[in-house]
Amino acid sequence: MRVNGKEMTLGNNQSLLQFLAANQFDVVTLAVARNGEIVPKPTYDSVMLCEEDTLEVVRFVGGG
Amino acid sequence: MTDQLVIGGQRFNSRFILGSGKFSLEIVQAVVENGGAEIVTLALRRANQGGEENILEYIPENITLLPNTSGARTAEEAVKIARLAREINCGNFVKVEVIKDSKYLFPDNYETVKATEILAKDGFVVMPYMYPDLNVARDLVSAGAAAVMPLASPIGSNKGLSTKDFIQILVDEIAVPIIVDAGIGRPSQACEAMEMGVAAVMCNTAVATAKNIPLMAKAFGQAIESGRNAYLAGLGRVLNQAAEASSPLTGFLED
């Protein structure tokens, strides 16, 4: 699976929520696009990931 | 008399919009409070695994967050960034910023209008950053922009009001708030923009590159408030030739 431009190994049968928690992403303050589509936060638990997925995991930083 | 800035139906007492880039998280709160800002811009970037500092924890709670779409080179990318930002659940304000030109960082007005139209229809309060052009400003308003944000000079340059005459035309002709964004370098320039009748000023680099950042934020807050008061008061007229005494011309002691 590709996450923010890097290859990562995905465990078996992981939901998006489980993947984010396992990699210590702060779910509350981030947003995720999966294969270019924004994933609604209430569905993180039911979205099952696969090795072919590409994720963009983003958060706020300082900016003008 | 209450003089408030109204954007997308939301009312603000401060007319200083603060960019949060280029300074450390530890001083964000002091900078916001010193400047009296009620709107703070943010950018969206890739998160890192393993936990990291979260800027939202450093911004006071009553602040309206204004995510920007920096990094977008097309309307499509700007729309995606805006929708991702909204997913973080920090409101529906967005500063649309579409930049293809990597030397001068000028906004692409055409793509900006397209993104504004899509996002306004999608329920966002859209504040587009633009190169000051009256026709484009009218198109942005037609597309649903809640404010229009013309640049004063190139982003991060601190060069001041290079586009002053064109911003004045927008102030005179456009009904939504005109907010000067980018290029303001000194509090006196922010004050001058406010005297012209712009609704608010946005600054980031001018504050972030000062030696004392919180103090410069305070200086900008004061200058913007001062300029607003001057605009409301109505500037005194200018004599192009000769002079006019300020003191009475009768009753001199030697009379």
- What is the CATH T-level fold of the domain B5-233, as seen in this structure? TIM Barrel (3.20.20)
Instruction: Count CB neighbours of B22 within 10 A.
Output: 15
Residue A24 CB: number of other CB atoms within 10 A?
Answer: 11
Contacts of B70 by beta carbon, 8 Å cutoff, 6+ apart? A63, A64, B43, B44, B97, B99
Which stretch of DSSP H or E encloses residue A31?
strand A30-34
**Domains observed in chain A:** 2-59 (3.10.20.30)
Q: Is the pLDDT of residue B255 over 80?
A: no
How does pLDDT run across B39-78, given as a tens digit for each residue?
A: 999 999 999 887 778 899 899 989 999 999 999 999 999 9
Q: Are B43 and A4 in contact (CB < 8 Å)?
A: no
Q: For A25-54, what is the mean pLDDT?
A: 93
What is the reported pLDDT for B1? 61
Q: Rg of the Cα trace of chain A?
A: 11
Proportion of chain B above pLDDT 90, given as a percent? 86
Cα angle B22, B27, B28 (rounded to 5 degrees) comes to: 70
Tell me whether 0.95 is exceeded by the ipTM. no
Task: Look up B95 and say whether it is catalytic.
Answer: yes
State the catalytic residue, choosing from B22, B80, B95, B164.
B95
Is residue A59's pLDDT more than 70?
yes
- Residue B253: is its pLDDT beyond 90? no
* Other C-beta atoms lying within 10 Å of the C-beta of residue B253: 4
B103, B122, B145: which is closest to B136 by C-alpha? B145
Average pLDDT of chain B to the nearest whole number? 95
Chain A residue whose CA is closest to B59: A62
Residues in B touching A62 (Cβ below 8 Å): 19-23, 25, 28, 42-43, 55
Distance, CA of B12 to CA of B4 (rounded, Å): 5
